Amino acid sequence: MKAQLLQKLQDKSSRIGIVGLGYVGLPLAKLYLQNGFPVYGFDIDEKKITALKEGRSYIEHVDAKQFQSASAQGKFVATTDYSRASEVDALILCVPTPLNEHREPDLSFVINSLLSVLPHLKAGQVLSLESTTYPGTTNEELRPRIEERGFTIGQDFFLVFSPEREDPNNPKYSTNTIPKVCGGETEACLEVGMALYRGVIETIVPVSSTQAAEMTKILENTFRAVNIALVNELKIVAERMGLDIFEVIRAAATKPFGFMPFFPGPGLGGHCIPIDPFYLTWKAREYGVATRFIELAGEVNTAMPDYVIGKIMAALNEHGKAVNGSRILVLGAAYKKNVDDTRESSGLALIAKLQGLGAQVDYSDPHVPVMPEVRKYSFDMRSVPLTSKTLAEYDLVLVATDHDRFDWKLIEENARVIVDTRGRYRQKAGKVYRA
């Protein structure tokens, strides 16, 4: 069975099933189509399926026209019918792994996706989990359920973990050029997993187990979270000393070795970095280890929106105003510049906090024309166009995300007060405040 599956993956006759057509699954589905593989796209959201069949994209940086033409040619199937998992040779799970209300891992999307395809699995398939999770998930949660169906992992069914490394709208790296880490439950699983990705990814990085692959992704994101916490804390220190932390970081970044620049902001955003370190701390407790350093970094980053609120209060106070009743315009709903992804965005947290304090809040984001519903927030809001007239109507403009498409000169010239969390402006007494 392994030899037959390897041959199908090599000659690109294998059907690839992508479960979860979001920011990870959709670009991956497109990549497989571009490389000649037949693709099945599975999602529980009927709106996404309809959009793809009509050639409409719901993710800004992914052109969906290819999906419509491929569908017409019979090369792409978009469906909510998970029974069709029996028609594919490979299944790749690309579903969310959020935290629950207790900041503990919520694997419900992974488990429910597996349970949806489980009755339809067949001998000779490979299943890869890409969702970021704690070390041991593939072995402890997926493998037993698959084996209960009577399969023997590594002989008639193959199981791997290969973490996603998407960085939306990155001009330097794309899905196919970012090296792909892959770990298998057995050596045969690893061999099949590498063949699964070799047809679309330039560089495959094998590791010894699914646990090692899971730990690799957790390490990557924890590294970022800890370093962002460091510069967020140093931002506060520098501000007290009258120093510009952005100037200091850029100067330090000229050192050609031993330093990597990270920049402060209003908190953490995106699906991975605010969440993944907590997956590791939760799992570490099972082994009697207290990850104090990581948890402290989480506390620092989680506190940043409140720090920004304090700066907003102080700026308004200098102009004889309270937050309650003030009109505030938040620039940027997306979690980072030049994307439309609002998951775990600090901008949304700031909107909610400001509304809770009685402010009249609007937002402007050229990448997010209508505020989507996310797990934590539900705002009935539309992006406000930036003009000299509209900017002048607000008591304060908050720079939450520094999109390149914003007219920064127009903003500076017409806003009454600016609180800048991204270092776009130099501080200016009575006008621009750093946060």
What are the tens digits of pLDDT across the range 236-281? Answer: 999 999 999 999 999 999 999 999 999 999 988 877 778 888 899 9
Domains of the chain, by residue range, sit at 2-208, 303-434
CA dist 308 and 310 (Å) reads 5
Domain at 303-434, CATH from 3.40.50.720, 3.90.1150.10, 3.40.50.2300, 3.20.20.10: 3.40.50.720
Q: Which segments in the chain show pLDDT lower than 70?
A: none
pLDDT value of residue 307: 97
Q: Which of 317, 319, 371, 325 lies closest to 347, judged by CA?
A: 371
Q: Pick the catalytic residue: 94, 182, 189, 272? A: 272
CA dist 156 and 123 (Å) reads 5
Sign, CA torsion 417/421/424/429 = positive
Per the CB < 8 A criterion, the answer to whether 364 and 331 are in contact is: yes
Per the CB < 8 A criterion, the answer to whether 160 and 192 are in contact is: yes
pLDDT value of residue 314: 97
Per the CB < 8 A criterion, the answer to whether 138 and 100 are in contact is: no
Output the six-digit token pair for 115. 């349970």
Per the CB < 8 A criterion, the answer to whether 163 and 130 are in contact is: yes
> 303-434: same fold as 2-208?
yes
Mutual orientation of helices 292-318 and 276-286 as an angle, nearest 10°?
A: 140
Q: Which residues of 165-187 are buried (b: 16+ CB within 10 A; e: fewer)?
A: bbebeeeeeebbebebbbbbbbe
CA dist 36 and 31 (Å) reads 9
Sign, CA torsion 272/294/230/376 = positive
pLDDT, tens only, 308-355 = 999 999 999 999 999 999 999 999 999 999 999 999 899 999 999 999
pLDDT value of residue 275: 86
Q: Which of 279, 7, 324, 2 lies closest to 136, judged by CA?
A: 279
Question: Is 272 a catalytic site residue?
Answer: yes
Q: Which CATH class is domain 2-208?
A: alpha beta
pLDDT value of residue 329: 98
Mutual orientation of helices 210-241 and 245-252 as an angle, nearest 10°?
A: 130
pLDDT value of residue 378: 85
SS3 sequence of the chain: CHHHHHHHHHHCCCCEEEECCCCCHHHHHHHHHHCCCCEEEECCCHHHHHHHHCCCCCCCCCCCHHHHHHHHCCCEEEECCHHHHHHCCEEEECCCCCECCCCCECCHHHHHHHHHHHHHCCCCEEEEECCCCCCCHHHHHHHHHHHCCCCCECCCEEEEECCCCCCCCCCCCCCCCCCEEEEECCHHHHHHHHHHHHCCCCCEEEECCHHHHHHHHHHHHHHHHHHHHHHHHHHHHHHHHCCCHHHHHHHHCCCCCCCCCCCCCCCCCCCCCCCHHHHHHHHHHHCCCCCHHHHHHHHHHHHHHHHHHHHHHHHHHHCCCCCCCCEEEEECCCCCCCCCCCCCCHHHHHHHHHHHCCCEEEEECCCCCECCCCCCCCCCCECCCCCHHHHHCCCEEEECCCCCCCCHHHHHHHCCCEEECCCCCCCECCCEEEC
Mutual orientation of helices 25-34 and 65-72 as an angle, nearest 10°?
A: 50
